[in-house]
Amino acid sequence: MTTHTIPGELFLLLTDDAGRQDSTSYRTQALAAAAIAELALRERIALTEERSPKVQVLSTEPTDLPVLDQALGALAELEGKSLKSAIGHRMMNLTEVIGEGYAAVGAVQRKDGWFTTTWPTHDDELETALRARLAAAVEDPSRASLQDGLLLEILRALGIAHRILKDDLPGLSRRELDQRIEALEIDSPAATAVKRVVDDMTAALAAATVVTTVSST
């Protein structure tokens, strides 16, 4: 289910109850980055070793998860482009497919406006469970899954982990939370490889957001 993917869960964290992006102006890029991380984890794509890594598609075999399959198809067409370019490309806008996935299970509702579509909360059970899971992962790293670690690292890299999770971890300052996320050690054979992907991905995401900010001024 799209709802259990890394980009799907990130969508919940970056969308407020009114259905608009929350805590960041770069939800679209963040969701694209999260999809790339999960596709790397599933060994569908890889990054080259260059200073500015490029995306290589290793397999186009469907994952049977709509958001990941849409991202994989887009990346196949963007083969050879830099990670930064892929994250910011319009073909990697996954908001619609994720929103439809949550609407199908009753978590959100689709609300079409004159210029934008929003996804107001209908049932917050999934987000509540997600927040509890991430808080538990921070408080007890032995309970953290690889997916938890990736989600938390993306939030930290965006500089919004504390803003998103402060009510779920009221005893931690921003600095303390960031330090705990950085210290997470995920017990998985893929952890080392995926950490490299996340490091490259978050660096590219930061660069993409800077470019967007400069071009809009």
Q: What is the mean pLDDT of the chain?
A: 87
Is-above-0.85 flag for pTM? yes
Residues with Cβ within 8 Å of 91's Cβ and at least 6 positions away in sequence, in order, are 74, 77, 78
Instruction: Using the predicted structure, report yes or no on whether residue 189 has a pLDDT greater than 60.
Output: no
DSSP helix/strand/coil, 62 = coil
Mean pLDDT, residues 171-195 taken together = 80
3-state secondary structure labels for all residues of 4-16: HCHHHHHHHHCEC
- pLDDT band for position 142 (50/70/90)? confident
Most distant CA atoms of the chain, gap in Å:
48
Q: What is the pLDDT of residue 193?
A: 64
Residue 15 binned pLDDT confidence (cut-offs 50, 70, 90): very high
Could you tell me which of 72, 94, 123, 104 has the C-alpha nearest to residue 10? 94
